Amino acid sequence: MYRGECLCGTVMYQVNTAISTIECCHCQTCRKAHSSAFAIGVTIDSSSFEFVNGEDSLQAFESSNGKFRVFCKKCGSHIYAYRPQQPKTIRLRAATLNTDLNQFTIKHIHTENRIKLN
Ligand SMILES: [Zn+2]
Ligand SMILES: [Zn+2]
């Protein structure tokens, strides 16, 4: 079980499944959505995710056709993304976990767009 929250602490959630690998996504939409060189995420079962607090402070933005990015409307932290056509899973924004992220294996995806960081 893991817990996470947005930057301002309004949105709090719990994940009731094991996470082993998280992915760094280097695609351009993640870069822009998170205003960062990459975004880390993990796909989990929707049924293993629940809000502890602040669900009414979320806002969704359809960043590409059928993909919604959900964030705290107070502080802007991205919490998860989902596709209504694939309701069984969500893409959790792993950087919001209140957990030592070094325990997870890291994989890189969409590296064709990767920024060369020194
Ligand atoms: Zn917030
Ligand atoms: Zn991406």
> Please, which residues have CB less than 5 A from ligand 1, an ion?
6, 8, 10, 72, 74-75
Q: Is residue 95 part of a domain?
A: yes
Q: Is residue 92 part of a domain?
A: yes
Domain holding 32, by residue range, is: 2-113
Q: Is residue 46 part of a domain?
A: yes
Amino acid 14 reads Q
CA distance 12 to 21: 22
pLDDT of residue 39: 97
4 against 118, higher pLDDT: 4
Percent of the chain with pLDDT over 70: 100
Q: How far is the CA of 19 from the centre of ligand 1 (A)?
A: 23
Q: In the chain, at which residue ranges do the beta strands (DSSP E only) sit?
A: 2-5, 12-15, 21-25, 39-45, 49-53, 58-64, 67-72, 78-82, 89-93, 105-109
- Work out the average pLDDT over 23-31: 96
CA distance 59 to 38: 21
Residues linked to residue 13 through DSSP beta bridges, in sequence order: 4, 51
- Work out the average pLDDT over 79-108: 97
Q: Is residue 85 part of a domain?
A: yes
Looking at every residue in the chain, the average pLDDT score rounds to: 97
Phi, psi of 46 (to 5 degrees): -55, -35
- Work out the average pLDDT over 70-88: 98
Domain of 90, CATH number, reads: 2.170.150.70
CA distance 8 to 77: 8
What is the number of structural domains in the chain? 1
pLDDT of residue 118: 77
Q: How far is the CA of 26 from the centre of ligand 1 (A)?
A: 24
Cα-based angle 7, 43, 2 (whole degrees, multiple of 5): 50
Q: Is residue 99 part of a domain?
A: yes
Phi, psi of 85 (to 5 degrees): -80, -10
pLDDT of residue 117: 82
Query: Quick check: 30 pLDDT over 80?
Result: yes
pLDDT of residue 17: 96
pLDDT of residue 98: 98
Q: What is the pLDDT of residues 37-70, one digit of tens each?
A: 999 999 999 999 999 999 999 999 999 999 999 9
Q: Is residue 42 part of a domain?
A: yes
Q: Is residue 29 part of a domain?
A: yes
Q: How far is the CA of 105 from the centre of ligand 1 (A)?
A: 27
